[in-house]
Amino acid sequence: MADPSNPNSSFIPKRGPVTRRVTTASNQVYVFTLISYVLIFATLLGTGATYLYSEYVQSRLSDEVGKLNVAIQGFNDSDMKRVQDFDERLQQALQRFDNGVSIVSIFKILEEATIDTVKIDSFSLTRQADDKFLLSTSMQTDSFDSTIFQRSVYKLDKYEVNKAVSSIDIGEVSRSSVIDEFGGRPELVRVSFSAELEVPLSAVVYKEQNIASAASIEEMDMVPVDEVVPVPASSPDSQTEEDLGLEDVNQFDI
Amino acid sequence: MKSSGLFVQIGMIAISIGIILTYIKPTFDEIRLVQQNISTYQKQVADVSGVNDRLTDLISNLDLVTKDDRDRLTSYLPDEIDEISVTRDLLLITNESEATYINASGGGVGSPGRSTSQRGSENLPQAHNFELSVSGTYPQIKRLFELLEQNNYPLEVRGVELSSSDEGLMNVSISLMTYSYKSSQSVGDNLNIITF
């Protein structure tokens, strides 16, 4: 029989008064777990932010479209047409005005450089676009000397003709004589020649000062010929008209 | 239990990637496109505003031009050439020069021609040809040319045929050209700056 008063007499093993070891729970955070959580939250936040920003830029786009429509509505077609018409008309007028030339200047140049023994039979002038004038004249004089003299005068730097005319070509020189029906002697000798001249438009541009008044033009016609055509002393062709014994002949046979 | 947590984490990552690929990235692309459009619109708004401001300035300048000046410009380059008026003017000019009027005709459309430096420019007025025949003395003919040059609209001399007659007068045939305004543009062409 087991003695109940003796605690060591029981067959049940007894636990001694040993202190229990306290074990703490492990709270380990795995990297993969962290990434997954961060990623899901970032994605959700990013989704929200993207949606809001998308709405914002859409509203800004709508604002800009509205501003553009307002600006377009502020554009006035009729005003633009008015301005363009005026500008274009002005440009076209200016373009023609800039190419305005003075035919009187050409006559004046020819007057100054044509000796008084030369008579102009015919005169033809043609404008080549806005570049130049082509002058073709048929002239008549009484001797070959006068023809040579006229050619030398045209080539003198002293005269405007040399500054204005870019090209001079004298040709088709011919001589004819009228026979006196009684004596059979030559009575009047005529030497005719043609002159081709090119005058650039820039040389005869229309200017107010280029145009003399009608009165001054008439005065110019009355200028003595020896003042208009002085004889160069150094030129080999230089001979005064008096030396040549030529009588005054109106250049245009008037 | 641990294995199910792992699957949840993998699922979360997969969902995140799915959201990024199917929503965030396309939305970003769309935003980039909208931003580009905003920039384009802003530039266009600036352009249109600039045109409007410039137009306002030009209208102000245009209004400063006096009516007389505008009338003179219109006289110099009218919208249309009245053949009868020009012919009458040629007669009056001839009478003023005291030369003898023989004949004047024309009104046909011509070509003004362009100098070498003007090639390529299409902004040219419409040309009209006229012919004038007169006779007179040399001073009268010179006076005639002077009056032609001083006319209030261009009477450009394109050709002259001059010959002396037995009576001591000169017969002159003059080819003249005058001009009318020719519009080369329509408003619609000029609105390209604000169409896009």
Mean pLDDT over B37-60 rounds to: 94
Cα A54 from Cα B38, distance rounded (Å): 13
Q: What's the pLDDT at B191?
A: 46
DSSP result, A10-74: SSSPPPP-PPPPPPPPP----HHHHHHHHHHHHHHHHHHHHHHHHHHHHHHHHHHHHHHHHHHHT
Check: CB of residue A155 under 8 Å from CB of residue A168.
yes
Cβ neighbors of A38 (< 8 A, separation 6 or more) are none
| Chain A residues lying within 8 Å of B183, measured CB to CB | 85, 88
Please tell me if residue A98 touches chain B, with a CB cutoff of 8 Å: no
| Chain A residues lying within 8 Å of B123, measured CB to CB | 88, 91-92, 95
Work out the number of other CB atoms within 10 angstroms of the CB of residue B146. 21
* Mean per-residue pLDDT of chain B: 86
Mutate: best of B39, B64, B115, B155, partner A, most A CBs <10 A: B115
Burial class (CB in 10 A: 0-12, 13-18, 19+), B143: buried
Check: CB of residue B116 under 8 Å from CB of residue B152.
no
| Chain B residues lying within 8 Å of A211, measured CB to CB | 146, 149-150
Q: What's the pLDDT at B66?
A: 92
Q: What's the pLDDT at B122?
A: 65
Residue A248 vs residue B150, higher pLDDT: B150
Q: What's the pLDDT at A240?
A: 41
The confidence band for A247, taking pLDDT boundaries of 50, 70 and 90, is very low
User: Which residues, in sequence order, are bridge partners of residue A124?
Assistant: A136, B161
Indicate yes or no: CB of A61 within 8 angstroms of CB of B34.
Answer: yes
Which residues in A98-166 belong to E strands, given as ranges? Answer: 119-128, 132-141
pLDDT in tens, A7-34: 566 666 666 665 556 555 556 678 888 8
User: Which residues, in sequence order, are bridge partners of residue A197?
Assistant: A135, A168
User: Does the CA dihedral A182-A184-A186-A190 come out positive or negative?
Assistant: positive
The one-letter code for the residue type at A24 is: T
ipTM: 0.77
Indicate yes or no: CB of A64 within 8 angstroms of CB of B45.
Answer: yes
Q: Flag whether pLDDT at A166 surpasses 80.
A: no
The length of chain A is: 254
| Chain A residues lying within 8 Å of B162, measured CB to CB | 122-125
User: Which residues, in sequence order, are bridge partners of residue A176?
Assistant: A190
Q: What's the pLDDT at A60?
A: 95
Q: How much of chain A, in percent, has pLDDT values that exceed 90?
A: 17
> Which residue among A40, A80, A92 sits closest to B15, beta carbon to beta carbon?
A40
- Which residue in the block uniquely carries the two structure tokens 């949840």? B8
Residue B192 vs residue A12, higher pLDDT: A12
pLDDT in tens, A204-245: 777 765 444 433 433 333 333 333 333 333 333 334 444 433
Residue A187 vs residue B103, higher pLDDT: B103
Distance in Å, alpha carbon of B82 to nearest chain A alpha carbon: 18
Indicate yes or no: CB of A217 within 8 angstroms of CB of B74.
Answer: no
pLDDT in tens, A61-100: 999 999 999 999 999 889 999 998 899 999 999 888 888 8
Check: CB of residue A211 under 8 Å from CB of residue A185.
no
Indicate yes or no: CB of B148 within 8 angstroms of CB of A103.
Answer: yes
* Mean per-residue pLDDT of chain A: 71
Residue A21 vs residue A47, higher pLDDT: A47
Cα B37 from Cα B31, distance rounded (Å): 10
Indicate yes or no: CB of B73 within 8 angstroms of CB of A64.
Answer: no
CB pairs under 8 A between A and B: 221
pLDDT in tens, B118-158: 555 567 889 999 999 999 998 999 999 999 998 999 999 99
The whole-angstrom distance between residue B129's C-alpha and the CA centroid of its chain comes to 22
Task: Return the closest-CA partner of residue A119 out of A172, A227, A179, A193.
Answer: A193
Cα B139 from Cα A190, distance rounded (Å): 26
The length of chain B is: 196
Q: What's the pLDDT at A227?
A: 34
Cα A234 from Cα A236, distance rounded (Å): 6
| Chain A residues lying within 8 Å of B55, measured CB to CB | 75-76, 79-80, 83
Which stretches of B65-82 are DSSP H helices? 67-76
pLDDT in tens, B157-182: 999 998 887 777 889 999 999 999 98
Check: CB of residue A211 under 8 Å from CB of residue B142.
no
Q: What's the pLDDT at A30?
A: 81
Long-range contacts of A77-81 (CB under 8 A, 24+ apart): A77/B187, A77/B191, A79/B55, A79/B59, A80/B55, A80/B187, A80/B190, A80/B191, A81/B187
> Which residue among B62, B168, B181 sits closest to A83, beta carbon to beta carbon?
B62
Q: Flag whether pLDDT at B23 surpasses 90.
A: yes
Indicate yes or no: CB of B59 within 8 angstroms of CB of A82.
Answer: yes
Residue B45 vs residue B107, higher pLDDT: B45
